[in-house]
Amino acid sequence: MPIDLAFIWAAIIAFGVLAYVVMDGFDLGVGILFPLFPDKKDRDVMMNSVAPVWDGNETWLVLGGGGLLAVFPLAYATILPALYMPLIAMLLGLIFRGVAFEYRWRTKRWERVWDVAFAGGSIVAGFCQGIALGALVQGIPVVDRAYAGGWWDWLTPFSIATGLALLIGYTLLGSTWLVMKTEGELARRARHLAQRLAFLTVIAMGVFSLWTPWLRPLYLDRWFGFPTAMFSVIVPLLVLGSLYLIVKGLKSGKDVQPFLASLGLFILGYAGIGISFYPYIVPTSLTIWDAAAPPESLSFLLVGALVLVPIILAYTGYAYWVFRGKVRHEDGYH
């Protein structure tokens, strides 16, 4: 049996996007939470807690986006035009929050402005990513290898709902990150928030799960047909288990556990979406084999991925290790 390069690459890209979602998820979440923490010192600590790693987190977006161009060019060339407006808005949001990391420390008078840019940029980016996800799940029409829909197709109640759901999920990641990385009053407030956000996230996941199957017959079949229906039973149980771990961790002062369990929630939700539309990469127009680049491209980049991705993971892990532990106000180079 020949090696199914398209399948291997689908797995790698899926991993890259997941890595992006959870890693930039928590630092976007910290930005989204900014309005709830008006105190300057708290904001300094919040920003410093993600400052050393946000750059690296965002490179996974390029890895996912650029990787899509390399290995599924047809998907790249149809999804991106279909999502033109939310993606451009997301990029501009990322720009604002990205420059805020540097600009905020360079001015007293405009500090509040960059606080707003940091929070606003994070909110816009997170919301637009959710909209993009929703628009992808509801399907993108493709005719003659080009996007065949309209300018506003991405804007539906469902995509707005996924946008809000992802925002809530990101704030959960952000608040549990703060629980793990900060101390004192800031950590106490983050703990308080995280508990509510955990329930809200699970509710959002529930709404998403009840809504999705009715979008397309394929999803309905996946959710209630054998054997994938097994997941429809197992995943909700695991979600509730994660929720329990988050709440218990928050109560018992295990500061790392809520963050890890929140990551678990994201992985479960992500897996559920994947199961819904695999093997489509552009539901329900293109499968991974329709969209795959020629084998010459897939194999050439696969060599690099197999060698380099483990190295990337190793030094990314090391960078996180260097900045382990609680962040204090006097940390940071500014």
Partner 1 sequence: MDVSALLLSRIQFAFTVSFHIIFPAFTVGLAAWLTFLEALRLATGRPLYRRLFDFWLHIFAIAFGLGVVTGIVMAFQFGTNWSELSLRTGPVQGPLLGYESFTAFALEASFFGVMMFGRRRVPTWFYLFACAMVTLGTSLSSFWIMVNNSWMQWPVGYEMDANGIFVPTDWFAIIFSPVVWVRFPHMVLAAYVTTAFCVAATGAWYLIEKRLHAEGVEMIRMGLGLAAVLVPLQILFGHLTGDYVHDRQPAKFAAIEGRWENEKPAAEVLFAIPDEATEANRYAISIPYLGSVIGSMSLTSEEVGLKSFPPDQRPPVAIPFFAFRIMVGCGLVMLALAWFGTWTTHRRLLPQRRWLIWCIFLSFPLGLIATLTGWFTAEVGRQPWAVYGVLRTAEAATPSLTAREVGVSLVIFALIYGTIAVAGIAYVHRLLRRGPEPDPQTMDPQLNPKRPLGLAAGGPAASSNPAE
Q: Shortest Cβ distance from residue 275 to partner 1 (Å)?
A: 26
Query: Between residues 76 and 170, which has the closer beta carbon with respect to partner 1?
Result: 76
Q: Shortest Cβ distance from residue 44 to partner 1 (Å)?
A: 13
Q: Shortest Cβ distance from residue 324 to partner 1 (Å)?
A: 9
- Tokens 């977006």 correspond to 61
Query: Between residues 13 and 202, which has the closer beta carbon with respect to partner 1?
Result: 13
Query: Between residues 7 and 231, which has the closer beta carbon with respect to partner 1?
Result: 7
Q: Running DSSP on this structure, what letter comes out for residue 225?
A: S
What does the binding site for partner 1 look like in residue numbers (CB under 8 A)?
48, 51-53, 55-56, 58-63, 65-71, 73-74, 76-81, 84-85, 87-88, 91-92, 94-96, 98-99, 101-103, 106-107, 110, 145-149, 151, 293-294, 296-297, 300-301, 304-305, 308-309, 312, 315-316, 318-319, 322-323, 331-333
CA angle, residues 11, 15, 20, in degrees to nearest 5: 150
Q: Shortest Cβ distance from residue 29 to partner 1 (Å)?
A: 18
Q: CA 298 to CA 57: how far, in whole Å?
A: 24
DSSP secondary structure string for all residues of 294-328:
PHHHHHHHHHHHHHHHHHHHHHHHHHHHHT-S---
Helices 111-138, 257-277: crossing angle, 10 deg rounding: 30
Tokens standing for 189? 């407030």
Q: CA 16 to CA 329: how far, in whole Å?
A: 33
Q: Shortest Cβ distance from residue 82 to partner 1 (Å)?
A: 8
Distances (CA, A) of 315 to 22, 59, 161, 320, 321: 18, 14, 36, 9, 9
Query: Between residues 1 and 303, which has the closer beta carbon with respect to partner 1?
Result: 303
286-287 and 146-147 strand pairing: unpaired
Q: Shortest Cβ distance from residue 171 to partner 1 (Å)?
A: 22
Query: Between residues 64 and 249, which has the closer beta carbon with respect to partner 1?
Result: 64
Query: Between residues 28 and 301, which has the closer beta carbon with respect to partner 1?
Result: 301
Query: Between residues 96 and 259, which has the closer beta carbon with respect to partner 1?
Result: 96
Q: Shortest Cβ distance from residue 307 to partner 1 (Å)?
A: 8
CA angle, residues 28, 32, 35, in degrees to nearest 5: 150
Of 283, 302, 282, 267, give the one whose Cα is nearest residue 15.
267
DSSP secondary structure string for all residues of 48-105:
HHHTTTHHHHHHHHHHHHHHHHHH-HHHHHHHHHHTHHHHHHHHHHHHHHHHHHHHGG
Whether the link from the prior residue into 227 is cis, omega within 30° of 0, is yes
Q: Shortest Cβ distance from residue 157 to partner 1 (Å)?
A: 23
Query: Between residues 225 and 295, which has the closer beta carbon with respect to partner 1?
Result: 295
Q: Shortest Cβ distance from residue 73 to partner 1 (Å)?
A: 3
Query: Between residues 210 and 314, which has the closer beta carbon with respect to partner 1?
Result: 314
Q: Running DSSP on this structure, what letter comes out for residue 282?
A: E
Tokens standing for 200? 């809200």
